[in-house]
Amino acid sequence: MAQRWSGPQQPGSWAEGPDPVQGAAGSELESSTTVWAVFGDLMAGLLGAFVLMLVCLMAVQLELVTDLEAEVRKRQVEEQRRVALEKALAAPLASGRVTLSNGRIGISGSVLFALNSDQLQPEGRQLLKSLAGPLAAYLGTSGELLMVSGFTDDQPVSERNRQFQDNWELSAQRALTVTRALIEAGLPSSSVFSAAFGPEQPVASNADAAGRARNRRVEIAPVPRAAGGGAGSPPR
């Protein structure tokens, strides 16, 4: 069928279709915008993670510094107490009748007691009298307690000595004897208590007489008071 000619078209009257160049540019712009948005989100996430890690590291470092400062203060206090105890016991230490190691005062069992006995010898009683005053003065400033500990060697109690069932009982009675002697010499009874260790925690080998003699001993150790006012645990 023949088409009808409608005459010449006026300029600008042709219908305009989509411009392919502008469409491509728009697509590229949208794609670029999407990429930058994703990149921005990624960078924001990384920045947040970095800040979180930095905060965590600073918190850990602060905790380490706090712990270190607390440990330094603790060691300073311990050193001050050790020096104070050494000054208080200057005379007995100089005589060589007692020892001081890690805050524990050691007294040889032979100075205090005869073998397999819990009765103080005259020399031992005099020594405890000389310790009571300095120890009371030390406790008055430190606020600590004194734990009197009895120790023996690993040899069984003599069968002829029916007074004690074993070394545990012997060490307990010796610790009690020393505790009572210190109280009689002026140490407040509320500041001292006794403990027994029997043959445990030797300081020398029990294979020879010299080692066994060192293990038969009494130790006096300052210990902190518990929160409720009771006795604490000795530093071992």
CA-based nearest residue to 92, from 120, 121, 137, 126: 126
Q: What angle do CA 163, 165, 167 make, to 5 degrees?
A: 105
Each residue of 35-72: pLDDT tens digit?
A: 777 777 788 888 888 888 888 888 888 888 888 888 78
Q: In 67-225, where do the E strands start and end?
A: 98-101, 104-108, 145-151, 192-198, 217-223
Domain 89-223: CATH superfamily is: OmpA-like domain (3.30.1330.60)
Q: Alpha-carbon distance 12 to 166, whole Å?
A: 125
Q: Do residues 145 and 222 make contact, with C-beta atoms less than 8 angstroms apart? A: yes
At 6, list the tokens.
């409608």
What is the pLDDT at residue 202?
94
The total of other beta-carbon atoms located within 10 Å of residue 135's CB is 25
**Could you state, in order of their start, the residue ranges of all structural domains in the chain?**
36-81, 89-223
Each residue of 200-222: pLDDT tens digit?
A: 999 999 999 999 999 999 999 99
Q: What is the DSSP letter of 149?
A: E
Q: Is 194 helix (H, G, I), strand (E, B) or coil?
A: strand
Q: Alpha-carbon distance 150 to 164, whole Å?
A: 14
Q: What angle do CA 222, 200, 82 make, to 5 degrees?
A: 20
Q: What is the DSSP letter of 231?
A: B
Half-sphere exposure (Cβ direction) of 97: Cα atoms closer than 13 Å: 17
Residue 169 has pLDDT above 90, yes or no: yes
What is the pLDDT at residue 227?
65
pTM for the full model?
0.64
Q: Do residues 223 and 232 make contact, with C-beta atoms less than 8 angstroms apart? A: yes
Q: Alpha-carbon distance 152 to 168, whole Å?
A: 8
| Residues recorded for the chain | 236
Each residue of 93-104: pLDDT tens digit?
A: 887 788 888 888
What is the pLDDT at residue 234?
44
Q: Alpha-carbon distance 223 to 221, whole Å?
A: 6
